[in-house]
Amino acid sequence: MKFSYVNPTVIEFGQRQIASVTNHIAKHHKVLVIYGGGSIKRNGVYDQVEQALQEHQWTEFAGVEPNPTVETLDKAVALVKEQQLDYILAVGGGSVIDGAKYVAAAACYDGDGWDILEHKHTITEAIPLGAVLTLPATGSESNSGSVVTKRATKAKLAFLSPYVQPKFAVMDPDVMKTLPDRQLINGIVDAWVHVCEQYLTHTSKAYVQDGYAEALLKSLKSLAQDFDKRDSDDWRANLMWTANQALNGLIGSGVAQDWATHAIGHELTALYGVDHARSLAIIQPSLLRNQMATKQAKLEQMGIEVFGLEHSADLAERTVAAIEAFYHSLEVATSLTQYNGTREQAIDDVVQQLELHGMKALGESQAITLNHSRQILENAI
């Protein structure tokens, strides 16, 4: 095992922590507050941010959409450049935080910001940013990843850079009170798949990473079982913390990582507008079956440690069935039914997009070719 690990984001966790924003941004900064479609105006989060920034000079950019588009974000980039803003505060879910990361990097680059997503430009600087999380799911509040969509070409691509990792993240579970059930469920499912992408590979002797991954999966399983308790402080706090820990770099350190479910899922979102988490539930069971030969031992481990299943010759398959049942218990579909044209056309379209985006060798061993992706889609659509 060999790795470097640092997570430099300061976490301010707990009720009424939004006030701590005051202390994390020096008063000399000119701040851009960036947010989404307005949920923060309706649930009091905006007012708390305004209160925390009362001694700061700040301006705002609203309207970052779910699955943020470069078309919208480039308007924020122009604002940052025009007004020489030098700190960004993202207030929202993964889309707003990812969007803020793009703006932070693109504002320090003279070329076309989309170059960052196409890996034609390597980020060497970015405007510092902080985050007030309003939807626990992606872990974006304390990681270095960002996913941005180009509406014009339906390309949904990701970039990673330590320069865009938030300096601090405020995680007040009270903000979740206004989340619709659909988004709470998305949070459970996205975090679940994040753990799986870093756990369901080949076996390793990484006892800490495996054990912690299993603890996170068990936590998510309990939260799903206790979904009727979602209006309690403990339930909210546990989901917020679990989703954060699922993708903050720790459980993926020094172990193989997959991410093929995400790569294929992103195409479903870009083409058909499927919620990110729901795209993963559609692809993952089919992918696990397709890759059963290499993932069998780890699936068996998950079956025993997470689902409490007994040993049997078909344990790995029973684990995949248990994962499917977990999604179904949350009324999350595991097959795609809404697409344009015929099923065959949908499969062709997704495979074509994967090829266009260079996703020709996915998974922990780069063993998932376009043909495998086609097979995976044939069993998921």
Binding site for Zn ion (CB under 5 A): 190
Using CB under 6 A as the criterion, which residues of the chain lie in contact with ligand NZQ when the complex forms? 36-40, 43, 66-67, 92-96, 98, 134-135, 137-140, 143, 145-147, 175-176, 178-179, 183, 186, 190, 247, 262, 276
The answer to whether the CB of 291 falls within 8 A of the CB of 284 is: no
- When CB distances are held under 5 to 8 angstroms depending on the partner's kind, the choice from ligand NZQ, Zn ion, none that residue 144 binds is none
For the bound state, the minimum distance from the C-beta of residue 45 to Zn ion, rounded and expressed in Å, comes to 23
List, in order, residues 6 or more apart from 361 with CB less than 8 Å away.
Answer: 367, 368, 369
- Report CA-CA distances (Å) from 108 to 8, 40, 80: 21, 28, 10
C-beta closer to ligand NZQ: residue 175 or 381:
175
For the bound state, the minimum distance from the C-beta of residue 136 to ligand NZQ, rounded and expressed in Å, comes to 8
For the bound state, the minimum distance from the C-beta of residue 109 to ligand NZQ, rounded and expressed in Å, comes to 19
For the bound state, the minimum distance from the C-beta of residue 62 to ligand NZQ, rounded and expressed in Å, comes to 9
C-beta closer to ligand NZQ: residue 243 or 302:
243
List, in order, residues 6 or more apart from 238 with CB less than 8 Å away.
Answer: 219, 222, 223
- When CB distances are held under 5 to 8 angstroms depending on the partner's kind, the choice from ligand NZQ, Zn ion, none that residue 336 binds is none
C-beta closer to Zn ion: residue 190 or 267:
190
Closest residue to Zn ion, judged by C-beta, is 190
Q: ∠ CA(23), CA(131), CA(27), 5° rounding? A: 30
Task: Burial-class residue 126 by CB neighbours within 10 Å (0-12, 13-18, 19+).
Answer: buried
- When CB distances are held under 5 to 8 angstroms depending on the partner's kind, the choice from ligand NZQ, Zn ion, none that residue 319 binds is none
Residue with tokens 């049997």: 312
C-beta closer to Zn ion: residue 31 or 282:
282
β-partners of residue 88 are 32, 129
The answer to whether the CB of 266 falls within 8 A of the CB of 280 is: no
- When CB distances are held under 5 to 8 angstroms depending on the partner's kind, the choice from ligand NZQ, Zn ion, none that residue 353 binds is none
C-beta closer to ligand NZQ: residue 187 or 285:
187
- When CB distances are held under 5 to 8 angstroms depending on the partner's kind, the choice from Zn ion, ligand NZQ, none that residue 279 binds is none
How far is C-alpha 124 from the geometric centre of its chain's CA atoms? 23
C-beta closer to ligand NZQ: residue 177 or 229:
177
Say which DSSP state 327 is in: H
β-partners of residue 145 are 160
Q: Which amino acid is at 235?
A: W
For the bound state, the minimum distance from the C-beta of residue 253 to Zn ion, rounded and expressed in Å, comes to 18
C-beta closer to ligand NZQ: residue 183 or 301:
183
Residue with tokens 């039914």: 337
